[in-house]
Structure 1
Amino acid sequence: MAVSDERLREMAARLVEVPGVTAVTLSGSRARGTHAPDSDTDVGLYYRGALDLAALGALAREVAGPSARVTAPGEWGPWVDGGGWLTVDGAPVDWIYRDLDRVARAVADAGHGRYAFHAQAGHPLGVPDFTYAGEVALSVVLADATGEFTALQERTRVYPAALRDALIAGLWEADFLTGVARKAVSRGDAAYVAGCLFRLVGVCAHALHGAAGRWLVNEKGAIASAAALPGAPDRFRQRVDAMFACVDGDPAHLGTALDMAADLVLETADACAMMAR
C-alpha cells in the first residue's frame, strides 16, 4: 500500500524546513494518476544553493528508519542528481533532488524551443532537459516556501509552441538513423542496429508528444503513451515491437526491421504535421 496523502504533506512540511530546500512536490506516476499498486512514490526536493545534508539525513532516518540515507547532489549523476531511496510506512518513497535554478533555465529554454539529450545512468535514451519543465507542469505541489515553484508551474501549464516545432523538426535524426544503421546490416551487427532503433523510436515518441502538446518525462512507457495519442500512426506500439523482434543478427531480418522503421518515421512525420495544425 502506498504512503498516504496526509503523510506526504506532513513530510513535505518538515522537508521545507531543511536549509536549502525551497519546494517539495509529488511527482512521477502517482502525480499523473498512472501509478500501479507497487509503484514508488516520487517526491521532488527542489533546492537552491547548498543543501543541509546532515539535517536532511536526520529527517530521512526519522521518517524511514535508522538505515535510511541521502546522497550529496551529483552522486546519482548530472541530471537525476541525488536523493534517497526510502521506505516510509512500509511503502517505497523516493526523494529526488532538483536544482531550482537549473530547472528554471530548462523551463526558459523549453519556451524558446531549445533542448538537448543528456547522458544519465538509468536513462538509455538520455534525459532531455525539457523533462524538468514537464515535471514542473505535471507535479502536485506539497509545499512551496517561496512561491517560486508555483510561479514556474504556471509558466508550464501551456505546452510551448516553440518546443513542439523543434521536436517535430528533430525527426531528421530518426531518418538519419535508418541510413546509418543500414551500414551495419551486412555485418549482422544487431547490437548497433538495436541501438539506432531505440534512439529512433524515442525521437519519434517525443515528436508525437510535442505535436500533441503533451509533456513526456520518461522513456519508460513512452511508446505506449505515444501510441495512445489521438492521431498517432496506426498500430504504433505493435509496429515498434515487430521491428525489434526482427533484430536477431540475420542481415535479411535487420534489413526488414529498418524498412519498417523508415515507414514508421515517414508516418510519424505526417502524423505530427496533422496533429500540430
Structure 2
Amino acid sequence: MTDHSSGAAAEPDGTGPGGGELGVGELDRIAAELARVGGIVGVCLGGSRASGTHVPGSDYDLGLYYRPGELDTGALRALAADLCGRPVEVSEPGGWGPWVDGGAWLDIGPVRIDWLYRDVRRVRRYAAEARHGRYESGQQPGHPYGVPSYAYLGELALARVLADPTGELAALRAEVACFPAELTRALESDAAWEAPFALANARKGAKRGDAGYVAGCLFRAVGLLVHALHARAGRWVVNEKGAIASAGRLPCAPPEFERRAQELFRFAGTDPVSLAAVLDAADALTAEVLAGAVRG
C-alpha cells in the first residue's frame, strides 16, 4: 500500500528493522486471521511486495479494508500482541489522519509488517467519482504533492488480494482495474492550465532569486505532468517516490523525460539568470507533454 503517513506517526521508508522475511505460508496465515476480525472485508498485499520490486528486508504492507463503524480494533490489538509477543499500538480508524486513516506497525522478530486501514465505503465512493472525472486531494506529511483520492483506487488495482471471504474486495477491485477515461481527461485538463500557471508564477520568484519558491513551483508542475502522463497511458500512480522515473518509461512520455525532469531540480544558487534558464527548460518539457495530450 502507499505510505500516506500523518503527523505524529510518520511511517518509515520501506525497510524493516532487521531485514527479515516471512516463512512460506506465514503471510497467508496472518491475512486469514485478519479477515476473521469483525468489520474487515478483506486483506491485500501492496507496495513493492505486490509489484515484485521489493528488496530483502522490505516491509510487508497489508491493506485492511473495513466497513466504517464495524472495525473491531480490540481484536486487532489482541492479534498484533499475539504475533509480536508484546503489546502493539493499534490506532482507531482515522487515528493517523484523514488520508492515511490508521493502522499499526508490527515488528515480528526481524520482519516489519504495516497494517494500513482502508475504508471500503470511501474507496467505493472515490471509484464512482473517478468514473465521472472527479477527484479530490489532501495534504499529508511525507507526501509533498498531496494524496489524490484516486491513489486509493490505484492501490487496490495494483495490490494482491490475500483474503476476501465474501468476494466483496474482488468485486471492488474489478471496478478499478481500468483507468477511467473521464479521469484521464480531467488530469490532462488540470495539467494543461496549472503546470504553465505554476511555472509562470515561478518566474516572479526567479527574478528575486527566490530559489525555494522556484523549486516548489517546479515540483508542482512536474507532478502534474507525471500524473497526466500516467493517466494518458492508463496507469495508476499512487506515490511520489519513483514517479518521475515511472513516467519516463511510459511510451507516451517525451524523449528523455526522466533525465530532463530530474535535471530541473539540480540547479544551485539564487542567480536570477540561472533560475530563468531552468524555467525555460521546464516550459519546453511542459509544452511537449501537453502537445501529446492534444495529439491524443
Distance 2:180 2:138 in 1: 20
Distance 1:36 1:259 in 2: 38
Q: Is 1:232 aligned to residue 253 of structure 2?
A: yes
Q: Which residue does 1:153 correspond to in 2?
A: 173
Deviation, 1:5, is 5.6
User: Is the CA contact (8 Å cut-off) linking 1:174 and 1:203 kept in structure 2?
Assistant: yes
Residue segments in structure 1 that go unaligned for 5+ positions in a row:
none
Cα distance change on mapping 1:247 and 1:260 into 2, 3 Å: farther
Q: 1:189 aligns with which of 193, 199, 210?
A: 210
Matched ranges for 1:91-130 at <5 A: 91-130=111-150
Distance 1:63 1:248 in 2: 51
Q: C-alpha deviations, 1:140-168, integer Å up to 9, x for none?
A: 11111332211011111121111111111
Query: Quick one: higher RCO (CA 8 Å, sep 6+), 1 or 2?
Result: 2
Distance 1:37 1:121 in 2: 26
Matched ranges for 1:1-277 at <5 A: 1-4=20-23, 6-50=25-69, 51-171=71-191, 172-274=193-295, 277=296
User: Is the CA contact (8 Å cut-off) linking 2:137 and 2:149 kept in structure 1?
Assistant: yes
Distance 1:250 1:6 in 2: 58
Distance 1:69 1:102 in 2: 24
Secondary structure of the equivalent of 1:261? helix
Distance 1:257 1:38 in 2: 38
Secondary structure of the equivalent of 1:177? helix
User: Is the CA contact (8 Å cut-off) linking 2:103 and 2:115 kept in structure 1?
Assistant: yes
Deviation, 1:248, is 2.7
Superposition CA RMSD, Å: 1.5
Cα distance change on mapping 1:2 and 1:199 into 2, 3 Å: farther
Secondary structure of the equivalent of 1:184? helix
User: Is the CA contact (8 Å cut-off) linking 2:80 and 2:87 kept in structure 1?
Assistant: no
User: Is the CA contact (8 Å cut-off) linking 1:243 and 1:257 kept in structure 2?
Assistant: yes
Q: C-alpha deviations, 1:38-85, integer Å up to 9, x for none?
A: 321110001112322211111111112314221122222111111111
Q: TM-score, normalised by structure 1?
A: 0.94
Q: Which residue does 2:14 correspond to in 1?
A: none
Distance 2:124 2:104 in 1: 23
Look up the equivalent residue of 1:186 and give its one-letter code.
Answer: K
Deviation, 1:241, is 1.9
Distance 1:236 1:37 in 2: 30
Look up the equivalent residue of 2:170 and give its one-letter code.
Answer: T
Secondary structure of the equivalent of 1:124? strand
User: Is the CA contact (8 Å cut-off) linking 1:212 and 1:229 kept in structure 2?
Assistant: yes
Secondary structure of the equivalent of 1:125? strand
Residue segments in structure 2 that go unaligned for 5+ positions in a row:
1-19
Look up the equivalent residue of 1:73 and give its one-letter code.
Answer: P
User: Is the CA contact (8 Å cut-off) linking 1:26 and 1:139 kept in structure 2?
Assistant: yes
Equivalent residue pairs, number: 275
Secondary structure of the equivalent of 1:159? coil
Distance 1:247 1:173 in 2: 25
User: Is the CA contact (8 Å cut-off) linking 1:188 and 1:251 kept in structure 2?
Assistant: yes
Deviation, 1:99, is 0.6
Q: TM-score, normalised by structure 2?
A: 0.89
Among the aligned pairs, what percent are the same residue? 51
